[in-house]
Structure 1
Amino acid sequence: MMPFPAREARAAKILVVGDVMLDRYWFGEVDRISPEAPVPVVRVARREDRLGGAANVARNIAALGARVALVGVVGADEAGARVGALAAEDGIEAHLVEDPDGMDTTLKMRVLGRQQQLLRVDFEHAPGARALDGVDDRMADAIAGCQLLVLSDYAKGTLARVEGLIQTARAAGVPVLVDPKGHRYRRYYGASIVTPNRNEMQDAVGRWDSEDDLTRRAQALRAELGLEALLITRSEQGMTLFTGEGRRHADAQAHEVFDVSGAGDTVLATLAVARAAGLDWYESMLWANRAGGIVVGKLGTSIVSVEELS
């Protein structure tokens, strides 16, 4: 495995476009059951906000030393302002579109007692057409000087026009890395690599009954979409990369799984930074696999540093 290209990463710039979220955590202690219903009572002692979704991808890219720009949609609300402030703190060049039609910022609120998640409450609304116009415009401006475009699709609506975003990147000569959602993979035609997880791959090609069957289905999908590579993240089974040269696999490296939330963002970010820094897809996958093994041992949406990787 080649050394992580930290120096080259610092010279790279990556653009992230996708569904921006705010992850809000309320930490507390549980020592009794509510007399009103059979639920635990959490006495909140600490609150913490973290960037989520595409913003967490950008945060992880910044933590690995690369420059990063972020395009996404937020609402004219407290959560949207918080996203902007956290992005600035993490050194992210944020080009956030404030939805003019009153959309609220996507917010995931988690309540934890004794470090265990007890409840998650989601607030989300799809952006309107005028907000999507803003995404198109901001992306076209921000892509100048970037070595790679990352499209982070959480099916919240920001990438409703993903075909046009890919075309814009291709016209600028910028490779495109897509973290997909759903089963309509023709939307991602022309990307450089698509990185579905195991369930997302099954949505796209159906269930496979052997590794040979998976290889046939994966290579057929790669050819259909015109991809350089297709990377399947498979949880405890590791990661499998398909290119024109064949199939390469890496076993999972997690020693202890504590929390998988945001792990896919860290994997995506590490893959993007390694590739933008000059590594091939296989070496980039190996570093992404290592980063994923580290971050699942942390609580909530977290980052991995170059020092931890090394």
Structure 2
Amino acid sequence: MDAQSILAALHARRPRVLVLGDVILDRWHEGDAARLCREGPVPVLDVESVTDAPGGAANTAVNLAALGAEVVLVGVIGNDEPGRALTACLGEAGVGTHDGARLLVREPGGTTSVKARMMAHDHLLLRVDSCRQASPTEAAAVAERAQAEVAAADAVVVCDYGLGALSALDRAALRRGAKALVVDARHPAAWANLGADVATPNAEEAAALIGEPCPDGDRRAWATAHASELAAATGARHTLVTLDTEGTILLGGSGAPHVTASRPAPEQNAVGAGDTFVAGLAYALGVGLPVDAAADVGQAAAGVVVERPGTTTCSAERLAAALGGGPRRGISSLEAARAAAAAARSEGRAVVLTNGVFDGLHRGHTAFLEEAAGLGGLLIVGVNSDDSVRRLHGELPAIGEDDRAAVVAALASVDHALVFDSETAVPLIRALSPDIYVKGGDYLPGMLTEAGAVEESGGRLEMLGYLERKLPGARKARQPADEAQR
């Protein structure tokens, strides 16, 4: 199918997708680790912030909601603080704001499964998993609520992380009622008797299914050679093997296997891309697209999230752009910015990086960016996504991310503008290794979380001076240079 036909199908209606599985809260404890513990030779993390995000089946649900689906999530959650935090995250993402809350099973005294990461200036020190198995009564409640929702769903996604929430499902009834059924399981063989439409093992899981070592070399050729064995092991009509940097290969059709190609991206950007792929796949199946076109949609959605540091979801607008629904008005991808930076260095030009929200462009912005551009030969500007602005300031910006980035990109002083989704520029700094990172002069170097990343990448931090901005109702106001970025 061509891109325009795919886009027309995606825009024709909003699918209702039922997500079943193990619900997890992902939590990040971030701070400083400048001292060692007296009890042992381990760092002490002085926590400065705690960030929560939906994980497991909840992450797939959030990705579907970001694409525009009507999402129903069924799983197990606890009557505890992490459970309340996860429910709040889901509500903000548009999942569980109505009957979804009723569909999350809560037993008195139950706890929420949590995966907590201890971070020191974006360095992972430790991950602490507090995950539990669902009780038989919780699993039975999940099965009952899931079955009640199947008939109304355009697609069903089974997300099995091995925590037992799906252990009581009536698989035969689920298969009869599901219009399109996707299995995303840690152990796909356990779902072979379900007869899914698509199973999505990665290369390692696919090899384990047939008792083979994880393939080296041409993994697409390996998958093609073992297509019949993989089909028998997954029990699915189609087995879609995900190959991270090599894209995917879809097996089970009458013709040659269908392949998708991924975009080159830093490894740290790929976190969560698998859930985004499954969400795009299920969304497309839910609107009635054939499975090969649905694989293309999943790959396009995954490609969006790996091009932007820190992001975990793909919006409907960005998916349309990735599928060829029109140029993004001069906005660069991370891949394009990296290539431009490499080319500039090969020509002996310095790479300059700065970032900000840029909500409502004014002369403070333009003066700041012109001064930043004068420090080197290539200026790259990171523009905070709408979601990251909401996390930073508690509300969405007045102007959407693509419009803000497009206006910045149109300035003569700016060579590349790209949208990024993290609260700090650390992921951008690590991906682009700028020679100079620029902030406003009202910040001291020690106050910046980015300072350490700049030093690690071999660059230097440059502080610009104060800028004057004429404000309505006032004769003259002095504005810090960094304020011009907000």
Common fold: TM-score over 0.5: yes
2:380: which partner in 1? none
Q: Does 1:248 align with 2:258?
A: yes
Greater Cα radius of gyration, structure 1 or 2? 2
The residue number in structure 1 matching 2:80 is 77
Partner of 1:65: 68
Matches within 5 A, 1:38-187: 38-93=41-96, 94=100, 95-99=103-107, 102-162=109-169, 164=170, 166-182=171-187, 184-185=189-190, 187=192
* Alignment deviations for residues 250-309 of structure 1 (CA, whole Å, 9 cap, x no partner): 222133232443222111111111221232212221221232233245566721112233
| 224 and 28 in structure 1: CA distance in 2 versus 1, 3 angstrom threshold | closer
Contact 1:258 1:297 survives alignment (8 Å): no
CA distance, structure 2, for counterparts of residue 194 and residue 188 of structure 1: 12
Q: CA deviation at 1:226?
A: 4.8
Question: Aligned partners of 2:27, 2:308: CA distance in 1, in Å?
Answer: 16
Deviations 1:27-78 (A, max 9, x none): 2234444455333333322221111100110000000001010000112211
When residues 299 and 121 of structure 1 are mapped into structure 2, their CA distance, relative to the original with a 3 A threshold, is farther
Match of residue 230, structure 2, among 217, 221, 246 = 221
State the secondary structure of the residue aligned to 2:205. helix
Aligned with 2:29 (options 26, 34, 40): 26
More strand by share: 1
Offset of 1:121 from its aligned partner? 0.6
1:202-217 correspondence runs (5 A): 202-207=207-212, 211-217=220-226
Aligned to 2:305: 295
Structure 1, unpaired ranges of 5+: none
SS of aligned partner of 2:55: strand
Supply the distance in 1 between the matched residues of 2:243 and 2:134 (Cα, whole angstroms).
31
Mapped partners of 2:310, 2:162: distance in 1: 20
For the 8 Å contact 1:2–1:283, the answer to whether it is kept is: no
C-alpha contact 2:188 2:234 (8 A) present in aligned 1 = no
Counterpart residue identity of residue 178, structure 1? V
How many Å apart are 1:188 and its aligned residue? 4.4
Mapping 1:271-282, distance limit 5 Å: 271-282=281-292
| Partner in structure 2 of residue 198 of structure 1 | 203
- Which stretch has the larger CA shift, 88-97 or 218-227? 218-227
Give 1:170's aligned amino acid: R
Give the distance between the partners of 2:191 and 2:72, measured in 1 at CA: 26
Contact 1:99 / 1:127 at 8 angstroms: preserved in 2? no
- Output the CA distance in 1 between the equivalents of 2:158 and 2:135: 19
Partners of 1:260 and 1:37 lie apart in 2 by 34
CA distance in 1, matches of 2:290, 2:210: 26
Give the 3-state SS of the residue equivalent to 1:184 in structure 2. helix
Cα shift at 1:207: 2.1
1:209-265 per-residue CA deviation (whole Å, 9 max, x = no partner) reads 675553242333325655321101111222111122231222221332324432221
Q: Which amino acid aligns with 2:162?
A: A
Change (3 A) 1:6 1:225: closer
Whole-Å separation in 2 of the counterparts to 1:63 and 1:169: 25
CA spacing shift, 1:218–1:300, aligned 2, 3 Å: farther
Please say if residues 17 and 70 of structure 1, whose CA atoms lie closer than 8 Å, have aligned partners that are also in contact: yes
The TM-score with structure 1 as length reference comes to: 0.89
Q: CA deviation at 1:178?
A: 0.3
Q: CA deviation at 1:112?
A: 1.4
**In structure 2, do the counterparts of structure 1 residues 254 and 305 end up closer, same or farther at CA, with 3 Å as the change threshold?**
farther
What is the TM-score when the length of structure 2 is the normalising length? Answer: 0.58
* Amino acid paired to 1:89: E
Whether 1:286 and 2:286 are equivalent positions in the alignment is no
- The match for 2:3 is 2
Question: Does the CA-based 8 Å contact 1:189-1:225 persist in structure 2?
Answer: no
Query: Residue 238 of structure 1 is aligned with which of 241, 247, 250?
Result: 247
Q: Distance in 1 between matches of 2:110 and 2:308?
A: 32
Aligned partners of 1:225 and 1:184: how far apart in 2? 5
Task: Quote the sequence identity (%).
Answer: 33
Is this contact kept in 2: 1:20–1:73, CA < 8 A?
yes
User: 3-state SS of the aligned residue for 1:156?
Assistant: coil
Q: 1:285 to 1:155 in 2, by over 3 A?
A: same
